[in-house]
Structure 1
Amino acid sequence: MEFSKVISIAGKPGLFQVISQSKNAIIVESLADQKRVAINTTQNVSLLENIAIYTFEEDVPLLKVFKAMFKKTEGKEAVSHKESGKKLASFFKEVLPNYDDERVYTSNIKKVIQWFNILVVTGMDFAAIKEPVEVEESATEESGKE
């Protein structure tokens, strides 16, 4: 499974892997039960690799957060996303000490931990994933200066 193909779909629980896409739909497979379903292109879909967490310095890509969680938990599941908000925030603070607690809500932390646990259960090895080179960001900054 490739991290770059893992998505979240608004209104649907869990995570999905993109299998194929056509002009009007995306074929996805649930990571929980491996059922395939067609998602209309008008539905709100988020690629996990495009999500970042606010910190006081910069936005940290979700993959970096997952890698830090993977290292901290030694490749095992993290705390349950159903724990108390204080326990979740405490765990998240250990993983990403400089996250912006005014812009990152408990519900966000809960979702990140839930996603991490789903990916670990399905066998995602974050240590083996190479982080994308940040070439696109510098190209975007230069095009904005024109």
Structure 2
Amino acid sequence: MDFNEVAAVSGKGGLFKVVSPTRTGVILEALDGSGKKIIANIQAKVSILSDISIYTTDEEGAVPLQDVLRKIHVEFKGDTGLTSSSDPDELKSFLKFILPEYDESRVYVSDIKKLVTWYNTMAKTLPELLEKKEEQEQTGEKPAEKEKKAAAPKAKKAATKTKSEK
């Protein structure tokens, strides 16, 4: 699974796994473990997590949400100690610690609450998604390169068999 397969729906709490597209929308399954599925039609505002960013005051102007979630995971390893009902000042200082350059005038407390809720959900249900980047940085390889290296010996063996059989 990847951040391209995780979505948030406006008006619905929590995160959803994208199951499959339909003619008029998309089928989503709740990540909370309930197994509940919903059909989000064209009118529903569905946001894929890989498309979401957090405003910053630096040159780039925004940081992808997936990078922020991975930074949180590196620092807190699944337990931030925060919930959506935490004190607003505590939530702001939390984000300031994780992302010092975040734009305080454009990122609201409600956005930070969503960030904390989404992180807590993902840390429970999809921790491997938050750790992918760490493994990639340690090995210095992209996942696609890793898969190619793993497939190369198999392809080589298959080619060798084909030559020897001739």
Q: Provide structure 2 residue ranges, at least 5 long, that are not aligned to the other structure.
A: 137-141, 143-166
Q: Could you tell me whether the CA contact under 8 Å between 2:10 and 2:45 is conserved in 1? A: yes
What does 1:56-75 correspond to in 2, within 5 Å?
A: 56-57=57-58, 58-73=61-76, 75=77
1:124 aligns with 2:123: no
TM-score by length of 2: 0.74
TM-score by length of 1: 0.83
CA distance in 2, matches of 1:55, 1:25: 32
Over residues 29-59 of structure 1, what are the superposed CA-to-partner deviations in whole Å (9 max), with x where a residue is unaligned?
A: 0011121121112211111110100110120
Over residues 85-121 of structure 1, what are the superposed CA-to-partner deviations in whole Å (9 max), with x where a residue is unaligned?
A: 0111111111001101011111111111111111111
Q: Could you tell me whether the CA contact under 8 Å between 1:18 and 1:29 is conserved in 2? A: yes
1:25 aligns with 2:25: yes
Q: Secondary structure at the match of 2:117?
A: helix
Identity %: 34
Q: Secondary structure at the match of 1:7?
A: strand
Tell me which residue corresponds to 1:76: 78
Tell me which residue corresponds to 1:139: none
The structure that has the greater radius of gyration is 2
Deviation beyond 3 Å, 4+ runs, structure 1: none
User: 1 or 2, which has the higher helix percentage?
Assistant: 2
CA distance in 2, matches of 1:8, 1:53: 15
Q: Which amino acid aligns with 1:82?
A: S
Tell me which residue corresponds to 2:2: 2
Shift of 1:77: 2.7
Q: Which amino acid aligns with 1:121?
A: K
Q: Which amino acid aligns with 1:66?
A: L
Q: Which amino acid aligns with 1:54?
A: Y
What does 1:35-50 correspond to in 2, within 5 Å?
A: 35-50=36-51
